[in-house]
Amino acid sequence: MLKKLWDKIAKKNTELSNDGYEDKEGLKKDFKEEQEENSIVDPNEILEVETHQLESEDRREIEEIEEIEEIEAIEEIEEIEEIEEIEEIEEIEEIEEIEEIEEILEEPVEEPVEKISLFQRLKEGLSKTKKGITDKIDVLVQSYQSIDEDLFEELEEILITADIGVNTTMEVIDELRNTIKQEKIKDPQEIKNLLKQKLTDILNQLSSTDLNVEPTPSIILVVGVNGVGKTTSIGKIAHRLKKQGKRVLLAAGDTFRAAAIDQLKIWGDRVGVDVIKHQEGSDPAAVIYDAIQAARARNIDVLICDTAGRLHNKKNLMNELGKVFKVVEREYPQATKEILLVLDATTGQNAIQQAKTFKEVANISGLVLTKLDGTAKGGIVIAISRELNIPVKLIGVGEKMEDLQEFHVKNFVSALFGEE
């Protein structure tokens, strides 16, 4: 019994020993396999890495292609927009050219229509002066029941403020007093009509206000200080005469003012008239000489000459203009002569001082008053005519070509008093 029990125990120990060995061998085998697995890279993993790299490279290439295509598309759009912009600019320029040609070709069908149009322009140009004179007179006479010295004093102030001038104003007031006394006028409303008649009489006392360009050939010498609109006035006079069928030539005799020659050339191109010019700083008399020779050779009707306008040194001014006048008398004795002084109406009484200075050095035959549309003191027309006894021949009432108008006393006074 004991022997059987001992044999079972021995057999059990043997089995346990064998199992331990097998476990050790198994562990060794597992360890070895694990080392082999760790030392060998899985081919599938390599394939996955290579595939990933290829996909990244392909993606970059695609992105680069897309970026290039996007840039090309943007450049193409910009090119299309630039072409469209150029076409649009060309279309606008073409429209402007057509409009400019239409404006130049557009002529009034009937003479009365042109006169009405010009008078309307005159009224609009003198609107500020009207407010400064006649509108104030309307308010003044409505505030009085009878005519007395207080009314005359206020009327005197209105006229002086409008730059009619102290001397001219005093003469007008004295004449009004005498007329009212002689005709026994009581109604203040009558003063406006009396004043209109007095101003008309003053302006009618002067010689002809027409431009003196007949018989042809004729020459117009234009003088005036810098900045008064001298060159612009020359361009507009040329335009006016050309519309009348005259053959016109311009001479750039103001060789001292910067850009004066170029400015006159621009005006010449604009109105379709040639310009005789020398270099800046040249002798003005030499320019006028060449212009006279050209006028003769081309059978020109009217030669219009720009001149220097430096008032700061009257001696130099006298010398320069003196040389020009001598050349004209010597080389163009048969020509009808007109010497126009251009004055800026906005300078008021200062314009009268300029006129007096030029009158000392030149035989001024007519005045051109510019920028009347820019001042409420258009009474300077009356003052300068009265004090200097020089007729106003042209007035500027705007920037357009037609806004440089011939001066007509009746039209001027009617526009000043707001009449149709």
Q: Which residues pair with 339 in a beta bridge?
A: 221
| Angle subtended at Cα 94 by Cα 263 and Cα 109, rounded to the nearest 5 degrees | 80
> What pLDDT is recorded for position 26?
52
| Mean predicted confidence (pLDDT) in 163-185 | 91
DSSP 3-state of 245 = coil
Specify the pLDDT at position 290: 97
pTM > 0.85: no
> Which pLDDT band, with edges at 50, 70 and 90, does 125 fall under?
confident
Nearest to residue 223, comparing CAs of 169, 283, 282, 284?
284
The pLDDT score that the predictor gives to residue 11 is 54
pLDDT tier at 7, thresholds 50, 70, 90: low
**Cα separation, 291 vs 328, whole angstroms:** 10
* 389 marked as part of a ligand binding site: no
Is residue 307 part of an annotated ligand binding site? yes
* Domain membership of residue 256 as a residue range: 218-364
Is residue 206 included in any domain, yes or no?
A: no
Tell me: is residue 230 an annotated ligand-binding position.
yes
Q: How confident is the model at residue 370 (pLDDT cuts 50, 70, 90)?
A: very high
Segments in 106-165 forming alpha helices (H)? 111-125, 127-132, 134-142, 149-161
Say if CB 249 and CB 213 are below 8 A apart. no
**CA–CA distance, 203 with 161 (Å, rounded to integer):** 19
Per-residue confidence band for 265, with pLDDT thresholds at 50, 70 and 90: very high
Domain membership of residue 103 (yes or no) is: no
Amino acid in position 405? Q
Amino acid occupying residue 349: Q
11 annotated to bind ligand: no
Query: Comparing 102-116, 144-158, 362-376, which segment has the lowest mean pLDDT?
Result: 102-116
Asked whether 130 and 416 are in contact (CB, 8 A), the reply is yes
Token duo for residue 111: 């003479």
pLDDT of 51 strictly over 80: no
Check pLDDT > 50 for residue 100: no
Q: What is the mean pLDDT of the chain?
A: 78
Burial of 195 (0-12, 13-18, 19+ CB in 10 A): buried
Cα–Cα distance measured from residue 289 to residue 280, given in angstroms and rounded to the nearest whole number: 16
pLDDT of residue 25: 52
By DSSP bridging, strand 302-306 and strand 392-396 are: unpaired
CATH number at residue 249: 3.40.50.300
Residue 198 counted as an annotated binding residue: no
The residue count for the chain: 420
* 287 annotated as a binding-site residue: no
Annotated ligand binding at 132? The verdict is no
Indicate whether 184 pLDDT > 70: yes
- Residue 348: what are its φ and ψ, rounded to 5°? 60, -130
In a domain, 34, yes or no: no
User: Whole-angstrom distance between the N-terminal and C-terminal Cα of the chain?
Assistant: 162
Residue-wise DSSP of 154-195: HHHHHHHHTT--HHHHHHHHHHHHHHHHHHT---TTHHHHHH
Strand partners, 15: none
In a domain, 233, yes or no: yes
Report whether 348 belongs to an annotated binding site: no
Among 79-88, 228-237, 250-259, 303-312, whose mean pLDDT is lowest? 79-88
Any binding-site annotation on 212?
Answer: no
Residue 139 marked ligand-binding: no
**154 vs 136: CA distance, rounded Å:** 10
Tens digit of pLDDT for each residue in 144-173?
A: 999 999 999 999 999 998 888 888 899 999
Opening angle at CA 414, ends 125 and 388, nearest 5: 80
Question: 344 falls in which pLDDT band (50, 70, 90)?
Answer: very high
Give residue 133's pLDDT: 85
For residue 378, say whether it is annotated as part of any ligand binding site. Answer: no
372 annotated to bind ligand? yes
User: Mean pLDDT over residues 380-395, rounded?
Assistant: 88
Q: Is residue 202 part of a domain?
A: no
Q: Is residue 268 part of a domain?
A: yes
Residue 95 has pLDDT above 50, yes or no: no
327 is in an annotated binding site: no
Q: Annotated binding residue at 150?
A: no
Mean pLDDT of 117-131: 78
| Residue 360 within a domain | yes
For 228: left if phi > 0, alpha if psi spans -120 to 50, otherwise beta; the answer is alpha
Q: At what angle do helices 149-161 and 134-142 cross, to 10 degrees?
A: 160
Total count of domains within the chain? 1
- Encoded tokens for 352: 């009268």
Asked, for residue 383, whether it belongs to a domain, the answer is no
231 is in an annotated binding site: yes
The first and second tokens of residue 253, run together, are 């005799």
